[in-house]
Chain A
């Protein structure tokens, strides 16, 4: 032990306080005073006390739902911590996150996740943000991510470990191997003798230490943190420990051999460390007991205080879903740009928006597959040369790591723009997008907003088959907290992407491939999210659309005009937020609506629009709202079949005609 006496005693106090808080919570649950799903960290106190002593106060922590010990060790104050566990308004997330979602940025606790393994890509992103800042002020914050042995079997672990090693990120991957993934013993969920063995696959050091010895954990994490701080990359530290009260409160551990449990109690870390300190002469038994009693009194008092607090008021249910609206940014004029605008393709307009954002704001970074070259559709061509490969960063083919790292980079103060090559691949990273990016603001009561953009290409009609073609925007609009933008022309593409990057919430920006070469005049007009555009005015019927199908709608409007039919075309531009005022104004006036999108009709965003219009305008509608979209099949490959499956002007015109025929 080369630790000074004060640090050793402080580690003991931390361990005693963790055990006391755990005891107070379990007693309150047993007595029926508290009704939370509680994942006790009892038995893992030494791990937390050890790593915490090895880090600086402003280092980042990402932990998991069995996180009380980590949270206390990182310095989260007990009152808001316990208040959150009890769902009280004074909690770390105003009682809206709960025990699995505690954050406290003041102490560097940026995320507690309830999804096994999902914190690791986010931690890689935090480490990336810290690495980028290190270039400016010389200091390099370390990020420590804590997870269990069960998490080492999920893709998020492997994708993030590979990325962190490849990018030499200042990250400590701390596996608290407590012997079980839920109710499944270590030897039944992997063949690796040690989790640390897996470090070899990612060319990083891997060490296994006695997790019930805080000094051993301290030493291993100190070395890992020093390596990270020196810019030498990540380390996998496996702390072997035991969870003494099973998976969740009420788990009687019937799947555990009683002899194993008895041995684990014999190795219980708090008593063991107390004995070590007493035998070193640092403490008498009486002093140790007094310190434990002080921890117990603090825990009990904090829990009693928290139990007496109020629940959040009803006004909280809809706050912190998204941030306050951000003004659409004025365009940062570049030297030589024309005043009246210029004719650009959608592709060039997107490139322009990225280029301008990178030039205007040092926090903006891009990440994705092949983006430093040209990207799959040439959208990011030239950006790495202009802004550097450190800001326009290629990634492995690891969608979960890409979006998770973007979430973490956003938490760490950057403005990441991630690229997911095809929208069909959202399934590979939907956990990061829907469970993390979308929910972290709300679950933290506003403490951890996630300002990031995911750009994704998609589009049928290219004969690339069903896995590279499918519009999935309704998956996204179903998730509160996500913003979803689908531009139809170059000017909107430039302006809306600039707005998305400036926005304080996660935005998904959909780039329809068949539109990329379409040209138009791009000027400096800013466009806010949630503002629809009347692409063509008309009195008889409204066609509500977005993206590529706006052009089908305009073609139909043009074709019907000579017959005296005035079709109004409303281009929504963003689906979330949705411009309900524009819908009300247009359809309220025409009394007839057709909703057109490329996605499959069943369960598509058109269903939401049709339902909303029916609810808002029932009695004023002359006809039912009709929907036009793809037929309910995976998009076929053969050219003729693909044309048949996708909506086109003919189907739009038929729907418009049908709506006009009703109620006359």
Chain B
């Protein structure tokens, strides 16, 4: 499952990808916070939409637009 940068709140168009909260290749549970982003408004943690093995795509501290691929959840 490809992970794209979600839209949070009505006005968000992009965000700084602050850091990963789970390692590349690590097994994650559904609902577990896996990365942190920051917009003009607020910092936010994004939960895993499914269980599986996390693959990193996004670089920490880089800025991404809503919809940009940031990671992937592979079959465990």
* Residues of A that sit less than 8 Å from B by CB: 26-33, 35, 37, 248-250, 252
Contacts and interface: CB of A to CB of B under 8 A. Distances in A.
25 contacts: A26-B47, A27-B30, A27-B49, A28-B49, A29-B7, A30-B6, A31-B1, A31-B2, A31-B4, A32-B3, A32-B4, A32-B7, A32-B66, A32-B67, A33-B4, A35-B7, A35-B66, A37-B9, A37-B10, A249-B8, A250-B6, A250-B9, A250-B44, A252-B44, A252-B45
B7 to A, nearest CB: 4
Is chain B's interface secondary structure helix, strand, loop, or mixed overall?
A: loop
B48 A32 contact: no
B55 to A, nearest CB: 13
Contacts of A248: 9
Nearest to B44: A250
B50 A27 contact: yes
Nearest to A30: B49
Interface of B: 1-10, 30, 44-50, 66-67, 70
Contacts of B48: 30
Give the most central of B5, B45, B49, B67: most A CB within 10 Å.
B49
A35 B66 CA distance: 9
Contacts of B2: 31-32
Q: Which 3 A-B pairs have the closest CB atoms?
A: A32-B4, A250-B8, A27-B49
B21 to A, nearest CB: 13
A652 to B, nearest CB: 47
Contact of B3 (A31, A35, A250, A252): A31
A249 B7 CA distance: 9
A250 B6 CA distance: 10
B6 A35 contact: yes
Nearest to A248: B9
Nearest to A24: B49
Nearest to B67: A32
A31 B51 CA distance: 12
A607 B52 CA distance: 61
B49 A31 contact: yes
A37 B44 CA distance: 15
Contacts of A250: 6, 8-9, 44
A539 to B, nearest CB: 55
B6 A31 contact: yes
A26 B6 CA distance: 10
Contacts of A37: 9-10
Contacts of B8: 249-250
A484 to B, nearest CB: 31
Contacts of A249: 8
A43 B49 CA distance: 19
A148 B21 CA distance: 35
Contacts of B45: 252
A26 B49 CA distance: 8
Given A26-B47, A27-B30, A29-B6, 6 more contacts: A30-B47, A31-B6, A31-B49, A31-B50, A32-B2, A252-B44
